[in-house]
Structure 1
Amino acid sequence: MKLEIVNPVDYPQWDEMVLATDDYSFFHSSSWANVLSASYNYKPAYFALIKHGKLLAALPIMEVRSFLTGSRGVSLSFSDYCEPLIEDKEYFKVLLDAVISHGKKSDWKHIELRGGQKFLSGKPESAKYFGHALLLSKNDQELLSGFRDSTRRNIKKAFHAGVETKICTTLQSVGEYYRLHCMTRKRHCLPPQPLDFFRNIYDYIISKNRGFVVLATYDNTTVAGAIYFHFGNRALYKFGASDDAYQHTRANNLVMWEAIRWYAHNGYLTFCFGRSDCDGEGLRQFKKGWGTVERNINYYKYDIGEDKFINTIDAEKSNCTMLLGKMPKPILQLTGQLLYRHMG
């Protein structure tokens, strides 16, 4: 057994080794590493203990170098969660110590972990979220019976209103989704991710049969869409967007139902709805309405200079959001293109 710093982008056995672990997710895959490194020029440094071709432990890190926000190691950038792939607590200590040592030599300001609470009990959290996951069944009625009445009604409402959904795997469908994505981010006073990020999602995920787009049309207009990823037998809802003018059609519900049915019928076992902010009660209730199991997702930040885990608060977040919300959509898109690589 030896400790290696692996780049999954050029490590042929990486995905196979990851899929043999218990806590794997799509975010551990080489596909996601490819998207992050190609989109933002991050350097993958996945700390791993490997023995005879078996992955005993892994702590994935993306090295982010920014003149605006400083250099740091993140596990993993733009990922809802990324649990360390570790069963033995002693292995976690070995890998974390190695990451800290590497960070000191590389002049990182800090290390961010998006998961790992079972190893970090008693340490201060830097952020808290909710996660929601649905256990899948191949039987539609069994799935529907676990949904809230309101969720089932909204699916029926969309269907009877004439909303139509389609699963797509073309670059054109990604572009159509991106149009809705920019509208939705503007509505929430947030810059959209760069278009190149979504093109890389197509190149490294969708075109490789690890994801797809679901688009909903109403009266010959695309009114809602979502992007889904899959890895092993686990599915993930990553991005969703819609035209608010057609919110009354409940197209978002039919989009989600189309994806859930596809994954259930194709043998996937779990469907993850991603993370939700603790103060986002509306989104939280939407996800709970699908019969999901809720869990806590904790993030941690290790300050290299102070040599300890610290608690952080996003000061002035609301003021910044208000300012972004007043920007015209083209300026907001340019802001995202310029700033996202510094935010990971």
Structure 2
Amino acid sequence: MSTRIGRPPAHPIEESTVNAIHPVDPRTDRRWRQLAGGSAGSLFTSPPWIQAVCDSYGFTPEARLSVSGSGDPVGGFAWVAVDDIRGERIAALPFCDRADPMLATATGWPGLADDVLATGTPLTLRCFSDNPAAADPRLRQVGEAAWHGTPLDCTEDELYTRISSTSRRNLKAADRNGVKVLASTELDAVHEFHRLHVRLRKNKYRLLAQPLEFFERIWQQFSPGDNVVTLLSEVDGEIAAGAMYLVWGDRLYYKFGASLSEYLPMRPNDALYWAACKLGLSRGLASVDWGISDLDQPGLVSYKRKWASEERRVVTLRGGQDPKPKSEVGAMLGELTRLFTEESVPDDISTKAGALLYRHFC
């Protein structure tokens, strides 16, 4: 299986006039939704995702929309201003894999970030490395991650031959081991997955999980049209792994995943990935977006490469003033996280701690 790293096709629309910049609410503005639903948008700039994040954490989003002389939206950039115990900062956007400035033209970036950069407040955003924002001299790159995607421009049989031979062997092993994948659009499945998610974050990574309320609000926003699907792998009636997928535009997004280490030899995750690919095919979607992986997690990057034929880079950019060095508050949050993820702490206590503290981690 070959992996392609490169740029997407050039923007099809040419800019011929000076565009007007308007402040908008990205949750409700019709033109923003139009832009977010096109090729320039993604799940993370979509109104339902922004609504779910802001409702869960009490944020108020801001955005600037670039409109052509004919009234068409040609650019958009959104962010959230945060002022809490960790100080003032701007996230564009918080709790996202990436939130690329949406540009219908290759020259549509200038002006969209002027207002937010003028504040001098530390700004952080993630976008594909070939987004024009990455070339803005007012922003500096401070991180890089891998992104993977699987085009669904084929039949199921053709897709099966495209994935790696290792993945095909693992799928056969999952079948021999009796792994069953259940797909649900119901809220109960989200609750089941969240319990698994808390266990993985706590026991493997010593991290808190995002609150259940966030998952419930995602479900509320995307359940119309059955655009949120929870997949659960079972082995002998026990849940071994799970994942939440969201549909926006013509893509299926893998957003959250969790599994139990004792079941990994049964290959429940491979069964989940293949079920997701078949789900995307059955809905006539164009691709599966597997999200980002830190480059210091080579195992995860390698695993996704077995399923994806597209690979790109996502960069983290900073603007405004440099963020303050790690403070006593940051150290305290780290120590609280360590305490609430001790093996002796019940999962329900870790869950409550995540609900209380997670908003400060953006």
**How do 1:298-317 residues align onto structure 2 when only pairs under 5 Å count?**
298-304=315-321
Matched residue type, 1:157 = A
**How do 1:28-67 residues align onto structure 2 when only pairs under 5 Å count?**
28-51=45-68, 52-66=70-84
| Cα deviation, residue 14, structure 1 | 3.1
Aligned to 1:233: 250
TM-score, with structure 1 as normaliser: 0.88
Select the residue among 166, 184, 187 that pairs with 1:168. Answer: 184
Cα distance in 2 for partners of 1:311, 1:71 equals 10
Identity of aligned residues (%): 27
| Cα deviation, residue 85, structure 1 | 1.0
**How do 1:49-128 residues align onto structure 2 when only pairs under 5 Å count?**
49-51=66-68, 52-66=70-84, 68-88=85-105, 91-101=108-118, 103-104=119-120, 109-115=121-127, 117-118=129-130, 119=132, 120-121=134-135, 124-128=140-144
**How do 1:14-29 residues align onto structure 2 when only pairs under 5 Å count?**
14-20=32-38, 22-29=39-46
Q: Is the 8 A contact 1:125 1:311 kept in 2?
A: no
| Cα deviation, residue 208, structure 1 | 4.7
| Cα deviation, residue 287, structure 1 | 0.1
Secondary structure at the aligned position of 2:99 is classed as coil
TM-score, with structure 2 as normaliser: 0.84
Secondary structure at the aligned position of 2:160 is classed as helix
Cα distance in 1 for partners of 2:296, 2:225 equals 36
The two structures, once aligned, show a CA RMSD in angstroms of 2.6
* 1:279-310, Cα deviation, whole Å (9 max, x unpaired): 10111111001133211110111134x6xxx8
Aligned to 1:339: 357
Q: Is the 8 A contact 1:135 1:269 kept in 2?
A: yes
Aligned to 1:252: 269
Aligned to 1:148: 164
Cα distance in 2 for partners of 1:86, 1:311 equals 31
1:201 aligns with 2:205: no
Cα distance in 1 for partners of 2:324, 2:171 equals 41
* 1:132-191, Cα deviation, whole Å (9 max, x unpaired): 111113412211111111111111111221111121011101011111111111122110
Structure 1, 29-38 or 11-20: larger mean CA deviation: 11-20
Select the residue among 303, 310, 313 that pairs with 1:286. Answer: 303
Structure 1, 232-241 or 10-19: larger mean CA deviation: 10-19
* 1:289-341, Cα deviation, whole Å (9 max, x unpaired): 1133211110111134x6xxx8999998xx86866653523443233112211
Unaligned runs of 5+ in 2: 1-18
Matched residue type, 1:111 = L
Cα distance in 2 for partners of 1:231, 1:199 equals 17
Change (3 A) 1:167 1:13: farther
Matched residue type, 1:341 = R
Aligned to 1:185: 201
Cα distance in 1 for partners of 2:288, 2:324 equals 31
Change (3 A) 1:95 1:267: same
Aligned to 1:276: 293
Cα distance in 2 for partners of 1:234, 1:45 equals 25
Cα distance in 2 for partners of 1:150, 1:313 equals 43
Cα distance in 1 for partners of 2:90, 2:57 equals 14
Change (3 A) 1:138 1:91: closer
Change (3 A) 1:290 1:311: farther
Q: Is the 8 A contact 1:126 1:311 kept in 2?
A: no
Secondary structure at the aligned position of 2:208 is classed as coil
Cα distance in 1 for partners of 2:96, 2:41 equals 13
